[in-house]
Structure 1
Amino acid sequence: MTSTSPEAVRRRFIAASFVDALGQGVYVPLTMLFVHALTGQTLTAIGTGLTLAGLGALASMPAVGSLIDRFGGKRVYTGALALRAIGFALYPLAHSYPAFLAVALLLAVAMWASPPSQQSLIGDIAEGAERDRLLAWDRSLRNGGMGFGSLAAAGMLAFGGTATGFLAAAAVLAAACAAAALIVARLPVARREAPAPEAARGGYRDVLADRPYLALTAANFLIGFGYTAQAIALPVFLTRDVGLPDALAGAVFAVNTALVAVFGVPVARAMARARRARGAALGTVVFAASFAAFALLPALGGGAVAVLIVAIVYTAGELIHSAPAQSLSVQAARDHLRGRYLSVYQLSWSLCRTVAPMLLGLLLDAGTWQLWAALAAAVLAGGLILLCTERALPAAPVFSRSADTLRTVAVTRSA
């Protein structure tokens, strides 16, 4: 008989998340080559189609939030994984451009729907500090899964990516998503109790009226550029401006992935002792310090060791910021509107990733230090918004402490 203990539910959820991340780790680095090999479309047509699909997925996010609140994070996350399985299975058949666009849109919507529905499911599985721990485990193991998937993708390229190999990859990706969907669908998650009629009213109007949460979202939009720079701008900077070989530039990403996977949970536990907004703001300061160091590397003739040291500082900023920031976004969402709240928060990531290639490209062309100065200003501004927003938030999202501690804080704040 299958165990339904809370610990067993959490282990099975993490297993599904890891399988999901493995699939993303294979697909994301190979997207253009993967789609080109399977559909025969030109790279220009693929790039345009993927951009259009991404914009369509952005437009779908309000509907995703409403579906989460109506049917629960478990069902929407299961549906998103199932749609991804269908999309990967259909890619080899999408030889016409309209068919390619349809499959690309299906996959984009499913991928953007996964984070808010998954985080809402975590909110249903656990509460308080236990929810923080589950978020940390999920984030750490997802980094590990993405890393293993990226290694598999690199192996495919090293041994020569063939049409047959990409067909096999499509089948594996479809099977991985289907397996993850099956695991999630079988999770014995209790349905949330229905809120009182007066509390159940409302929708996106209530979310948009929650100014402290919108401030958290705006802060995340600014800080998100610090995350996107690693994949978009850092490889160009290291090879063009610092003079690092391509292989060493790739090693920086590998070091970051490994450190986040290994130290994600311990750092999250350590950060749980601090107020979430202040912990996240501290991470932005460490981020800014790493950006200042990156800006100095060309002038100092930074070698591989110096680059790796700065990359470790950057990773420390990510570890310090990500745990309390993600917990704050989930804990500050009102339970009966959690799907809508998290969908709005997800838009900050989505918009950042949509505009980042253009903005970061302009900054790279401007010189060797302008990019890092702009990134430092953006993340520090985000950190300042977090600090200014802290007092406007209820005690429960701010503190990762016991109920007694929260009551004490509430009394202190009201005094």
Structure 2
Amino acid sequence: MTTTLSGTRRGFFRRLIPPTPMSRRLATQSMLFSTGEGAFNTGSAVFLTQVVGMSAARVGLALTITGVAEFLMAYPAGRFVDRFGPKRVWSLATWGRAACFLALPFVGSFGEYLVVGLLFALAASSGHSSYQSYVLDALPTEERIDTQAYMYSALNVGFTFGAILGGVALAFDNLTVVRWTPWFAAVLMAFTAWWISRLPQAPHDLRVASGEARVRPPGPGALRNPGWMLVTFFNGTLWTNQVLLNVVIPLWLVEATDAPHVLLAWLFGTNTVLCIFLPAYTSKGVRDLRDAVRYVRISSAFFVASCLITMVTHSTVGLVTVLLVWLGHVTVTGAELFISGASWSFQAELMDPRRRGEYQGVQDVSRTLGSMWAPALYTYLAMSRGDQGWLAIAGIIVVATVAIGPSVRLAERFAVRHFPADQVDRDAGDDALPETLEDTGQYAVPEPAPPAASSTQGLDLT
């Protein structure tokens, strides 16, 4: 029995390590990136108000302007990625983030911060489109979802490390330390950019190098694919679990329950731990679009359960309230984990492989439209309408869940009509990168598989 339990524990922790060289390299990049971001974000409020000297209202205005700019840049950035290649744009965007972090200690006014913030928005738009395009382009079909799950876990590990480092900087209670914290993030971003440059060329990068990608592919683009726009819009609505997680439930705990405020730390800690250890397991059931739609339903069931559980805590007391609020937070984390797997499948199956950057840009726009209203609406419904408000939030998710099925079928029919079969086959087969890759950026010749070799487990990441 002891041997069995020990083997089970070893198997559990071994399963947390990405199984292929490429997946480990991508997971490492995710952790480097999020550690730098997390280190700055932890103290960003102190930095902007006390170092830069902006009022809270000015901070909010600046963040709103840069958020709108990132939204408007999403589609052009995606077209740019298709034109110049995902790896090149990804690396350049990360160098751009490093430069912005280097500039931050010298910012001293609202206008100066806005300039840097707009450059951040440009880097974020192009970086997100290029990173997603590269991951889908560089990996074999059977590894895409699982690899993104490992990258998602690594991202959460990095944000945790970054938050700890940012907290250490804040613990000095010294504005000079806070002022120069962005340089730590800049160093990590520069190292991340170098790491990206050492990744192999993806098939689309090779087409760019040969001049093939300079000619716009024939056929309709992403903006003429109504199924894709509907899928990503409703997917954005389903991702409003993050609004429940980060905004509504914490506000509800403080304003409508008798739970101690220190419980908030346990809630976010639980979410972080679950999002580190579980994505590699929860993503295993997604292998096609039918599985993805099933995962949407499971995610929505968790979301609705969270609404119903949290709803009753305004009339409970003591330990019962604490346990129910915690359970509500855990169930909304379940919604996050299952919609992640579904989202990765939609990206892998419903994007035109010749236009992944453009499709990613359209997704960023549609998904934002499907979720940007949620913080204001959900907060109003929960805090002002009570039980009816929580039921309305659950109803919104049910409607999005019902609508995403026909939307996926519409996008699938579009793919059958307009995505060239030979390109899809080539993308999933001959052009998929082998597991053993050289740092030269060219394809490596894979070692012959040993007799009776076991199949490789897959991976995935945002």
The TM-score, its normalising length taken from structure 2, stands at 0.78
Q: For the residues of structure 2 that align with 1:349 and 1:42, how far apart are their CA atoms?
A: 30
Alignment of 1:11-410 (within 5 A): 11-157=24-170, 159-192=171-204, 194=207, 200-201=217-218, 206-272=221-287, 275-301=291-317, 302-351=320-369, 354-394=372-412
Alpha-carbon shift at residue 245 of structure 1 (Å): 2.4
Q: 2:295 touches 2:342 (CA, 8 Å); kept in 1?
A: yes
Query: Shift of the alpha carbon at 1:221?
Result: 2.4
The runs of 5 or more residues in structure 1 that have no matched partner are: 1-5, 407-415
What is the total number of aligned residue pairs between the two structures?
Answer: 392
Give CA-to-partner distance per residue, 1:91-147, whole Å, 9 cap, x none.
111113321110111123323433322111101211322111111111121122222
Aligned equivalents of 1:196 and 1:179: distance in 2? Answer: 29
Contact 1:120 1:330 in 2 (8 A): no
Task: Measure how far apart 1:148 and its partner are.
Answer: 2.5
1:184-204: CA deviation from partner (whole Å, max 9, x where unpaired): 0121223326479998135xx
Letter in 2 for 1:240: E
SS at match of 2:373: helix
Q: Cα offset for 1:87?
A: 0.9
For residues 316 and 82 of structure 1, what CA distance do their matches in structure 2 show? 35
For the residue of structure 2 that corresponds to 1:245, the secondary structure is coil
- Secondary structure in structure 1 of the residue aligned to 2:405: helix
Mark the CA change 1:84 to 1:198 in structure 2 (over 3 Å): closer, same or farther. Answer: closer
- Whichever of the two has the greater Rg, that structure is 2
- Unpaired stretches in structure 2, ≥5 consecutive residues: 1-18, 417-424, 429-462
Q: Does the aligned pair in 1 maintain the 2:292–2:346 contact within 8 Å?
A: yes
1:3-18 equivalences in 2 (<5 Å): 7-18=20-31
CA distance in 2, matches of 1:96, 1:196: 42
Compute the displacement of 1:335 (Å).
0.9
Amino acid at match of 1:181: A
> Deviation at 1:364?
4.1
Question: Offset at 1:84?
Answer: 1.1
Write the distance in 2 (CA, Å) between the matches of 1:331 and 1:31: 37
**Sequence identity, in percent?**
23
- Mapped to 2, the partners of 1:83 and 1:351 lie a distance apart of 27
Amino acid across the alignment from 2:242 = Y
Residue pair 2:39, 2:162 contacting (<8 A) in 1 also: yes
Aligned to 2:201, the other structure's residue is in SS state: coil
For residues 97 and 227 of structure 1, do their structure 2 counterparts lie closer, same or farther at Cα, with a shift above 3 Å needed? Answer: closer
The 1:162–1:349 alpha-carbon spacing in structure 2 relative to 1, beyond 3 Å, is: farther
Do the aligned residues in 2 keep the contact of 1:144 with 1:261 (CA within 8 Å)? yes
Indicate conservation of the 8 Å contact 1:10/1:125, yes or no: no
Q: 1 or 2, which has the higher helix percentage?
A: 1
* Counterparts in 2 of 1:97 and 1:134: CA distance versus 1, 3 Å: same
Alignment partners' CA distance in 1, 2:380 and 2:183: 38
1:153 Cα deviation from its structure 2 partner: 3.2
1:55 aligned partner, one-letter code = V
| Equivalent position SS for 2:278 | helix
Distance in 2, Cα, partners of 1:397 & 1:11: 31
Other-structure match for 1:410: none
- TM (normalized to structure 1)? 0.86
1:147 and 1:254 in contact (8 A); partners too: no
1:42 alignment partner AA: S
SS of residue paired to 1:295: helix
Q: Deviations over 1:319-378 (max 9, x none)?
A: 122112222123310011111111111224444564333323433441433443233122
Q: 1:63 to 1:77 in 2, by over 3 A?
A: same
Paired AA for residue 251 in structure 1 = W
- Kindly state the Cα deviation for residue 65 of structure 1 after the two structures are TM-superposed: 0.6
* Shift in Å, 1:271: 3.7
Which stretch shows the higher mean deviation, 109-118 or 165-174? Answer: 109-118
The 8 Å contact of residues 328 and 397 in structure 1, kept in 2 or not, is answered as no
8 Å contact 1:282–1:383 — kept in the other structure? no
